[in-house]
Amino acid sequence: MGEVIVVTSGKGGVGKTTTSASLACGFARRGKKIAVVDFDIGLRNLDLIMGCERRVVYDFVNVINGDCTLKQALIKDKRFDNLSVLAASQTKDKDALTQEGVAKVIDDLKNDFDIVLCDSPAGIERGAFFAMYFADRAVVVVNPEVSSVRDSDRVLGIMSSKSRRAEQGQDAVKEHLLLTRYSPDRVERGDMMSVGDVEEILGVKVIGVIPESPEVLSASNSGVPVILDENSDAGQAYSDAVARLLGETVPMRFLDPKKKGFFQRLFGS
Amino acid sequence: MQGMLFAPAFELKSAQMSLMVLSIRRFDLDLLQIEIAQHVAKAPALLKNAPVVLELAQADPAPGAHQVTNLLMRTQAAGLRVVALVADAIGEPLAHAVGLPALTIGPRRKNTGEAPAPAETPESTAPADAATTAELSTGATDVPQPEPTPVPPLLLPGPIRSGQQIYAKGRDLIITGAVSAGAEVAADGCVHVYGRLSGKALAGAAGDVRARIYCLSFAPELVSIAGNFKVFESAPRDIAGKAVEIYLNEGRIDVRPLKA
């Protein structure tokens, strides 16, 4: 039986889909058989970031409605044989998701894959609820700023009380924080919350810290998840996070401001 | 754009909505504020800042305009918004005097259900009292008395997260963890938070003024005991982040650090 991991946040624009795409590639690169599912019905993005948007024939809602089989709807990644994408529907709205329908898809995927990664939409409504309902583990993506932290707190609360695990009285959903858009310079200047601040407020351990970096945007635009860019800080930080999610101990990187060169110090940055 | 200029800037629509009526019986400003605040604290999601219509027909003693103005402020402080007065013989002139509209109630609702209950006597909340009565009764009489079964506290692991509401009815509440900003924990008895209290904590929600709040790290948005509340935009320096006890001192919220 595979494990279900949800990537969620509450707030929008913090990097859920970027994270889902990178984690999916990261797990695949480590040899895991993985399916990544876009729950953002009506606003599909994951296929774009994964670079498979031209190959979407059937989607999640088609599977739920029985228009096609799960196998037909899964899109195999061109880079990794063991990675498949289930795209969200662009045309339907989120009411197309039913609890029984989603449950069936998730359970079928668990039978075939080591990891089922659910990319949650923003908010705490239907799509987001179903994305986290079946989770065994959660990666809560949070930006180091107060509103993102507050929304994540809300999502963690909902997960601990309304997930399937909570309803069936099983062990709680295992929670991890992933800090994105982290800027050590700004933390040092006191403009941004630190890793420690966020951990203290949310009471959850950080599994990875992704530094703010221009490569993230260019990677998203070209359909190549940033984790595959080995030269970028963000890519390396995602690789570390994947290792930690797989239970390895990897020291945190990119938490300190970059040392400035002589000229930079002289003339400012 | 041209068309927009000629479109009316507003639309007058007819709508029906139901409002709660706050029917005053005993006109005692202090008592009313406390009781209303307690009532609101019991169901904050439903009642906090709810619009209500004030009914004064049964108010004893009948208030004057000045007292009604005071009551409006007290009601707002307690968490309800008076939006109008009931247009009866007493309400109509008063509404005019205090500058609020007077509304005619539709078909008469059955007996004043929403009126705040008269002051209740706090029942055996202190374990010490219960113990003494139990001892006395065993010695003095052989009539079998029902054993006063202590009500166990509601024990929850933290953290209580933003948006969650916890209410321990008729007992103490113990949270072994933090209470996040945006979360609300309430109990008819005491509230214990073994962690950081960043949200709201309400003790003595049913009116027990002896109830207290304890927390390991003080950073709340609001604390309330028996309807007396205090809002903290930021915690005072000397107690911020400290382990403290919050109690009612002559009707005012007081906070003091717990000695190590």
Contact (CB<8Å) A157/B198: no
Confidence of residue A106 (pLDDT cuts 50, 70, 90): very high
Tokens representing residue A61 in the block: 């809602």
- What is the ipTM score, two decimals? 0.73
Instruction: Please count the helices (runs of H) and the strands (runs of E) in chain B.
Output: 6, 15
Tens digit of each residue's pLDDT (9 = 90 or more) over A33-61: 999 999 998 888 999 999 998 899 999 99
Q: What is the DSSP code (8-state) at residue B142? A: -
Instruction: Tell me the pLDDT tens digit for each residue of B35-91.
Output: 888 888 887 877 888 888 888 888 888 888 888 888 888 888 888 888 888 888 888
Q: What is the DSSP letter of B119?
A: P
> C-alpha angle B127/B37/B212, rounded to 5°?
30
> pLDDT-derived band of residue A261, with 50, 70 and 90 as boundaries?
low
For residues B228-234, average pLDDT = 89
Residue contact B164–A201, C-beta within 8 A: no
Pair A64, A36: CB distance under 8 Å: no
Partners of B161 on chain A (C-beta within 8 Å) are 153-154, 156-157, 160
Which tokens is B55 given?
Answer: 């009914």
Contact check, Cβ <8 Å, A157/B180: yes
Task: Provide the whole-model pTM.
Answer: 0.66
Residue in chain B lying closest to A151 (CA): B162
Q: Which span out of A172-176, A252-256, B135-139 was modeled with the highest average pLDDT? A: A172-176
Class of domain B154-257: mainly beta
- Out of A87-91, A141-145, A171-175, A200-204, which region has the weakest mean confidence (pLDDT)? A87-91
Record: contact B180-A160, CB cut-off 8 A:
no
Sequence-ordered list of residues with C-beta below 8 angstroms from that of A118, at least 6 positions apart, any chain: A4, A5, A6, A7, A36, A37, A39, A106, A131, A132, A134, A135
Q: State the pLDDT at residue B135.
A: 35
pLDDT 10s digits, B95-153: 888 888 888 876 544 443 343 333 333 333 333 333 333 333 333 444 556 677 788 99
Is A156's CB within 8 Å of B160's CB?
no
**Cβ within 8 Å, pair B178-A157:** no
Residues of A in contact with B196 (CB under 8 A): 200
CB pairs under 8 A between A and B: 37
**Bond before B257 cis per omega within 30 degrees:** no
**Range with the poorest average pLDDT among A41-45, B209-213, B227-231, B245-249:** A41-45
Q: Could you tell me what percent of chain A has a pLDDT over 70?
A: 96
Q: Name the closest residue on chain A to residue B219, using Cα atoms.
A: A201
Query: Widest CA span of chain A, in angstroms?
Result: 66
Measured in angstroms, the CA of B98 and the nearest CA of chain A are apart by: 40
Nearest to A203 among B177, B181, B182 (CB): B177
Cβ-based interface (< 8 Å): residues of B facing A: 158-164, 177-178, 180-183, 195-196, 198
CA separation for the pair B128, B141 (Å, rounded): 21
Q: What is the 3-state secondary structure (H, E, C) of A192-256?
A: CCCHHHHHHHHCCCEEEEEECCHHHHHHHHHCCCHHHCCCCHHHHHHHHHHHHHCCCCCCCCCCC
For residue B155, the model assigns a pLDDT of 94
C-alpha distance from residue A46 to each of A121, A264, B213 (Å): 10, 39, 47
- Calculate mean pLDDT across residues B14-28: 81
Angle at the Cα of A146 from the Cα atoms of A165 and B256, rounded to 5 degrees: 90
Q: How many CA atoms lie within 13 A of A268 on its CB side?
A: 0
In chain B, residues under CATH classification 2.160.20.70 are 154-257
Burial class of residue B209 in the structure, from the number of CB atoms within 10 Å of its CB (0-12 exposed, 13-18 middle, 19+ buried): middle
- C-alpha to C-alpha distance for B169 and B208, rounded to whole angstroms: 12
pLDDT band at A263 (very low <50, low <70, confident <90, very high): low
Q: Which of B163, B177, B195 sits opposite A154 (nearest CB)?
A: B163
Distance spanning both ends of chain B, measured CA to CA:
70
Dist CA A24 CA A35 (whole Å): 8
The whole-number pLDDT of residue B106 equals 63
pLDDT of residue B114: 40
Q: Which fold has domain B20-103?
A: Alpha-Beta Plaits (3.30.70)
Do residue B162 and residue A203 have CB atoms under 8 angstroms apart?
A: no
Measure A157 CA to nearest chain B CA, in Å. 5
Please write down the HEC assignment for all residues of chain A.
Answer: CCEEEEEECCCCCCCHHHHHHHHHHHHHHCCCCEEEEECCCCCCCHHHHHCCHHHCCCCHHHHHHCCCCHHHHCEECCCCCCEEEECCCCCCCHHHCCHHHHHHHHHHHHHHCCEEEEECCCCCCHHHHHHHHCCCEEEEEECCCHHHHHHHHHHHHHHHHHCHHHHCCCCCCEEEEEEEEECHHHHHHCCCCCHHHHHHHHCCCEEEEEECCHHHHHHHHHCCCHHHCCCCHHHHHHHHHHHHHCCCCCCCCCCCCCCCCHHHHHHCC
What residues in A contact B158, CB-CB < 8 Å? Answer: 203
Mean predicted lDDT score pLDDT of chain A: 92
Ranges for all domains in chain B classified under CATH 3.30.70.260 = 20-103
